[in-house]
Amino acid sequence: MNITLDKNDEQLTGLLTVHLTEADYAPTVDKQIKEYTKRAQVKGFRPGMVPVGMVRKMYGKGILGEEINKMLGQAVDSYIKENKINLLGEPLPVPSNVDFDTDKDFSFQFELGLLPDFQLPAELTAELHKVNLDDDTLAQTNEQIARQYGETTNPDESEAGDYLFGKFKKAGEEGEGRTVLLPISKVTGDQAQFIGKKAGDVIAFDLQAAFGNDAASISNFTGLSKKEAEEATGDYEFSVEKVNRTAAPEMNQELFDKVFGPEAVSSQEEFDAKVRETIQQNYDREAEGSLNNRIVQQLVENTDIKVPTEFFKKWLVRANEGKLTPEMVEEHYDDYVKELKWSMIRNKVVEEAGLKVSNDEIVDRTLDKIMGQFNMPNMPDEMRESMRSYADSYLKQENGKNYVNEYEAILAEKVLENLRGKVVVTDKPVTAEEFRTLHS
C-alpha cells in the first residue's frame, strides 16, 4: 500500500492518494471468502460445503468492495494520526471509476482541509458592566411583585395605575394586531386618553408621544425589538378587551414566604434588602455572561486564523446533505467561519492548558440541577447519594446525549475561566437603564 499527500499550502488543502495492489487486499479478501463458505446457504449444498470458487463467483465482488472500504478507512485514519495532520471536518472522497471485475490495482483519492497553527493574542482588555441600582429599578421590581402577588380585579373603567389588556396595531393596518398589556402608569404623555376606558373602546394615539420617545418602554409593553420600537412612529390603535387593576399585597410573613420561600426573611427591612440583593445578583450574572460573550467575540475577531475557504464551503454542504445548499452556505458563510474559529481557539486552550472534565464533575453538576428543580439546594448527603442513580439514568438517555451536553457545558466554562485569566478586565459602573440599553 502506498499513500501520498500533495499539499496546497496557499489554499490550505491536500490531496491524499491511497494506492492498493492485489498483494495488499488479497489475503484479507481470501480469508473473508473462506469464512463466508462456512455460513453460505446455496441450494444443492450442505451448510459449510459450498465450494470456495462458487462463493467467490457469487459474493467475491461484494466482499472485495467491503474489505477495500475497511482498509481505506483504517489507512487514511492511521496516516492522518501518524503524521499529526490537523483536519477541518473529515476527508472528502474524490469520485472515481473503479471496476472490481477487471481491475487488480486501485487508486483512491481524498480531499483534505488543512487547519494551520495559530497564536492567541498576547493581551485582551474588556469591561465588566457593574450596575449601581437606583430607586426607579427597585420601584419597578416592587411593582412586578405587587402585580404578581396582589389581588387582581377587572373594573369596568380604567384609572391611573391600571393596565389595559387588548390588541395593539398600527392605525389602518390589516388584522386585529398583537395582544399586549399596556401600563397606564408608564405613559409619560397624555395619560387622560387611557383613563375612563371600557372593554370595547378603541384608543387612537401617537405611540412615540405617549411614551416620550422612550424605545425601551415601548419595547417592554409591545414586544417589539428596540430597533422596531424606535422606528414605530405615527398613530396606533389600542382595542381594549378588559381593565386589570391589582391591589398591592400586604407586607406580611405570608408575602415574604411566597416570594423568597419559608422564613427566608421575617421583616420588611429584610425583604427590601433581599429584593435588592436578588436584583443585583441577576444583573451581575447577566454582566458576567455578557463579558464572556465579548471575550469570545474579541478572540474570534483578533486571532489571525486562515481557513481553507473553498474546502470548508464544500464540506459544509456534504456534511449537511439535504439541509444546506451552496446558496445557503454562501449567505451565512461569515457565521460558519466564526463558529469554526471559536472551535479552533477553544480546542487550543483545552490542549495547552490540559483541561479535563471528570465523570464526578458531570454527575455532581447533574445532581445540583436535580436538587434545584426540587428546590432543595441543601439536600442532605444521604439523599444526595441516593439520587445518583437517577442522575446516571438521566445522563444515559438519548444514547448519552445528555452526558455529552453536560461535558461540553463544563468544558466551555473551564475554557472561559482560563481565558479570563489572560484578559485585563476593568469594572465600568453603569445604571440599570444603561445596562439594559447596552445588553438589549
**Strands 124-132 and 423-431, bridge-based pairing:** parallel
Q: What is the mean pLDDT of each run of 10 residues along the chain (440 residues)?
A: 90 92 85 77 72 75 84 91 91 86 86 92 88 88 89 94 94 92 92 96 95 90 89 94 92 92 90 94 93 91 92 92 92 95 93 93 87 66 76 86 93 92 90 82
User: Residue type at 143?
Assistant: E
What pLDDT does 282 receive?
A: 94
**Relative orientation angle of helices 253-260 and 135-149, to the nearest 10 degrees:** 100
Count of beta carbons in the 10 Å neighbourhood of residue 385: 11
Rg of the chain in Å (alpha carbons)? 33
**Cell reading at 280:** 443585583
Q: Cβ neighbours of residue 97 under 8 Å, at least 6 residues apart?
A: none
* 184-205 core/surface letters (b: 16 or more CB in 10 A; e: else): bebbebeeebbbebebebebeb
What pLDDT does 165 receive?
A: 96
Residue 250: DSSP 8-state: P
What pLDDT does 374 receive?
A: 65
**Residue closest to 11 by CA, chosen among 439, 294, 307:** 307
With 0-12 / 13-18 / 19 or more C-beta atoms within 10 angstroms meaning exposed / middle / buried, residue 211 is: buried
- Edge to edge, the sheet with strand 106-113 lists 2-8, 13-20, 106-113, 92-93
**Relative orientation angle of helices 359-373 and 388-420, to the nearest 10 degrees:** 110
219: helix, strand or coil: helix
**Cell reading at 348:** 487550543
Count of beta carbons in the 10 Å neighbourhood of residue 29: 19
CA–CA distance from 330 to each of 87, 192, 305, 336 (Å)?
Answer: 21, 53, 19, 10
**Residue closest to 183 by CA, chosen among 194, 168, 171, 170:** 194
Q: Catalogue all structural domains in the chain, each as residue range(s) with its CATH number.
A: 2-113 (3.30.70.1050), 151-247 (3.10.50)
**Rounded to two decimals, what is the model's pTM?**
0.73
What pLDDT does 377 receive?
A: 58
User: Residue type at 312?
Assistant: F
What pLDDT does 426 receive?
A: 92
Q: How many residues does the chain have?
A: 440
What pLDDT does 100 receive?
A: 79
What pLDDT does 60 receive?
A: 73
CA distance 80 to 279: 53
